[in-house]
Structure 1
Amino acid sequence: MRIRKAISAAVVLTTATVGMITAVGGPAQAQATWVPPFQKCTPFDQGGFKGDVCVDRVGWGPQEFLGLGQIQAFPSNCAKFRVDVVDPDGTAVHSVNNIPCATGSVGTARYLAELHVNGRAYARLVGFDSAGNTLLSVNSQIIISPYDNH
């Protein structure tokens, strides 16, 4: 009986504490943006383009690199974006191309870390006009897989 009362008291105390934390932290949490723990984003603001280019590493077993862009603004002559996952030697190992210019999240290039990138990669966001001329090319920081042998 004492054990039951102790467990009941612990549940009530935990529930009350969680309720207070939620009530106190509720509005602040609604405004906060969750960032994955292995994501590196690089902000840019150039030539009418504004946003972030990000590289992320996901997976519990085989690691996968993700490249993506977050666009806040772009110039009127922007026709499309391309997002690359890039090996540190500069070779684009996977790309998502012909993404119409828009605000918000653009492209998610996915690539397994073990295949070619030697446990290191970065993302590249490229913007083009309708003639195919490069208007923007911006790189994220390099991110490293925990299985990197270098």
Structure 2
Amino acid sequence: MRIRKSISAVAVVATAAVGMVTAVSGPAQAAWEPPFRKCTSFDQNGFKGDVCVDRVGWGPQEFIGLGHIQQFPSNCAKFRVDVVDPDGTAVRSVNNIPCATGEVGIARYLAELHVNGRAYARLVGFDSAGNTLLSVNSEIIISPYDNH
């Protein structure tokens, strides 16, 4: 009888422990670190919106550049969104995005050593002849692993 009660008690404790592990690991995976975001708002030359860079990930960092457009002039033909290394080199771009309101372009870049744990986003607007109508940079975002 004592053995049966001991086995039952162990089973209850083990089941509770598994439930706690599941409860702890389940939401932690779903909650994952939210992206860190730096944005710059603009209202110039008939354009209104913002350009943002997100940083996501615990180990290797992924930088995501995107633009949000509220208004654009009638001569706007397309946008380009870049993820840019702080030295000014575009490391990833999404081009030929038709001018529209809302979210435009998402440039994703998995960081490697040459971005030095820092990046920013650039939103560029062009007319149909390819002339630059708008060029706006977000703030620089820094990886928590950057040692600069």
- Normalization by structure 2: what TM-score? 0.75
Structure 1 Cα separation of the partners of residues 78 and 114 of structure 2: 27
Change beyond 3 A, Cα 1:110–1:37: closer
Structure 1 Cα separation of the partners of residues 144 and 55 of structure 2: 10
Structure 2 Cα separation of the partners of residues 149 and 113 of structure 1: 15
Structure 1 Cα separation of the partners of residues 127 and 80 of structure 2: 12
In structure 2, which of residues 104, 107, 110 is the aligned counterpart of residue 109 of structure 1? 107
Partner of 1:145: 143
Partner of 2:124: 126
Shift, 1:37, TM fit = 5.1
Shift, 1:103, TM fit = 0.2
Work out which of the two has the higher radius of gyration on C-alpha atoms and give 1 or 2. 2
What percentage of residue pairs aligned between the two structures are identical? Answer: 91
Runs ≥4 residues deviating over 6 A:
none
Gaps of 5+ in 2: 1-33
In structure 1, which of residues 87, 93, 96 is the aligned counterpart of residue 94 of structure 2? 96
Q: Deviations over 1:67-90 (max 9, x none)?
A: 000000000000000000001011
Structure 1 Cα separation of the partners of residues 97 and 146 of structure 2: 31
Kept in 2, the 8 Å contact 1:67–1:124? The answer is: yes
Is the aligned partner of 1:47 residue 2:45? yes
- Normalization by structure 1: what TM-score? 0.74
Shift, 1:61, TM fit = 2.2
**What one-letter code is carried by the residue in structure 1 that aligns with 2:42?**
F
Structure 2 Cα separation of the partners of residues 73 and 86 of structure 1: 24
Give the number of aligned pairs: 115
In structure 1, which of residues 70, 78, 81 is the aligned counterpart of residue 68 of structure 2? 70
Kept in 1, the 8 Å contact 2:120–2:137? The answer is: yes
**What one-letter code is carried by the residue in structure 2 that aligns with 1:143?**
I
Structure 2 Cα separation of the partners of residues 108 and 92 of structure 1: 14
Kept in 1, the 8 Å contact 2:63–2:110? The answer is: yes
Structure 2 Cα separation of the partners of residues 118 and 62 of structure 1: 12
Partner of 1:136: 134
Structure 2 Cα separation of the partners of residues 116 and 105 of structure 1: 28
Structure 2 Cα separation of the partners of residues 95 and 80 of structure 1: 13
Shift, 1:104, TM fit = 0.3
**What one-letter code is carried by the residue in structure 2 that aligns with 1:109?**
A
Gaps of 5+ in 1: 1-35
